[in-house]
Amino acid sequence: MLIVAALGGNALLQRGQKLSVETQFANARKAAAVLAQLAKKHQLVITHGNGPQVGNIMLQVEAALGRAYPVPLHVAVAESEGEIGYILEQSLLNELARRKLKKRIASMLTQVLVGKNDPAFQNPTKPIGPYYGKQHADALARKGFSMTKINGGYRRVVPSPKPLEILEAEAIRKLVKMGILVIAAGGGGIPVHRKGKALTGIDAVIDKDRASAVLARDVRADMLLIVTDVPCTYLDYGTKNQKAIRCMTVSQARHYIHEGHFAEGSMLPKVEAAADFVAHGGRKAVITDFASAEKALRGKAGTTMVK
């Protein structure tokens, strides 16, 4: 079975943990144990978030303005694919060697095409980078950045356009079919659009789950596995009526979305990505956490989405 496994940002940096490269390597070692187990039986493409890492890079870019050349957001996303892809690949190689599994890994930079006229460009919503005071935020706004007030501070917001196509999908599929484990579409991929006929990077971030659903479609995966920090999705999450969803169809999912069961910026994009993949011909999508991943593949845990 060809599985696209989308790791949440929490796979490498969990809330409350010290942000560092060491923390990421330590978490990657734990993630690698589960992923190696999956890689033993299945063909695997691993995608991952990059929120804390790209925020950290943008902080560094800003702190060095005037001393070092700045990189725009799309290049910072490319750098974060380098950082995270390397940490994941090395951790996985070590875990595979420990289990005496002979498997190669390829970590690929990934560009994701978005539409020039995507409405997200008129309405930037995705916060990135650090919190600023009002004065600093006003200065950035005068430079043309979109800013928003969050939790009493100010953050830059960027567009989060819809991913249309993974430019490296064919190479990724070929690698997987040859038995190579692939790490790709990190941070939702590097956002590019067509300016005339030429590809050009654009300052935006693509939702990692949506990009993973498009990648799963483009490489013709059997399953999209979305790994998050809860074992499954719930109706009435966080209330006394909370009820685990073990299985849902795409139309049930749309109904639940309409009823507002899934939190925006959290479970909602995951359920939408799962539904998109299945609606576009994918066999099934599963939402679960690392601890339940193996059972979830056998339908014994997690939330499974089917047509």
Please give the backbone phi and psi of residue 44, each rounded to the nearest 5 degrees, phi first. -130, 130
Nearer to a second copy, 54 or 271 (CB): 54
Three-state secondary-structure class, residue 52: helix
Q: Which residues between 181 and 200 bind a second copy (CB under 8 A)?
A: 190, 192, 197-200
Q: Which H or E run includes 249?
A: strand 247-249
Between 21-41 and 73-98, two packed helices, what is the crossing angle to 10 degrees? 60
**What is the C-alpha to C-alpha distance for residues 298 and 37, in angstroms, rounded to an integer?**
14
82 sits near a second copy (criterion: CB under 8 A): yes
102 a catalytic residue: no
Q: Of 38-46, 87-95, 213-221, 230-238, which part binds a second copy (CB under 8 A)?
A: 87-95
**Strands 153-158 vs 126-132: parallel, antiparallel or unpaired:** antiparallel
126 a catalytic residue: yes
270 a catalytic residue: yes
Nearer to a second copy, 82 or 299 (CB): 82
Of the candidates 1, 68, 139, 150, which one interacts with a second copy according to CB under 8 A? 68
> Catalytic: which of 10, 27, 50, 56?
10
> Catalytic: which of 49, 189, 208, 284?
208
Binding mask of the shown chain, residues 130 to 169, with x at each position contacting a second copy by CB under 8 A: x------------------------------------xx-
Between 169-177 and 208-218, two packed helices, what is the crossing angle to 10 degrees? 60
* DSSP assignment of 151-210: TTEEEEEE--PPEEEETTHHHHHHHHHTT-EEE--GGG-EEEEEETTEEEE-S----HHH
Of the candidates 14, 60, 123, 251, which one interacts with a second copy according to CB under 8 A? 60
**What is the C-alpha to C-alpha distance for residues 228 and 173, in angstroms, rounded to an integer?**
24
C-alpha separations of 6 from 9, 128, 133, 242, 289 in Å = 10, 20, 34, 25, 11
> Catalytic: which of 55, 56, 188, 270?
270
Of the candidates 71, 235, 250, 268, which one interacts with a second copy according to CB under 8 A? 71
Active site residues: 9-10, 126, 208, 270
Which residues are near a second copy by CB under 8 A?
19-21, 56-57, 59-64, 67-72, 74-75, 78-83, 85-87, 89-90, 93-94, 97-98, 104-109, 111, 130, 167-168, 170-171, 174-175, 178, 180, 190, 192, 197-201
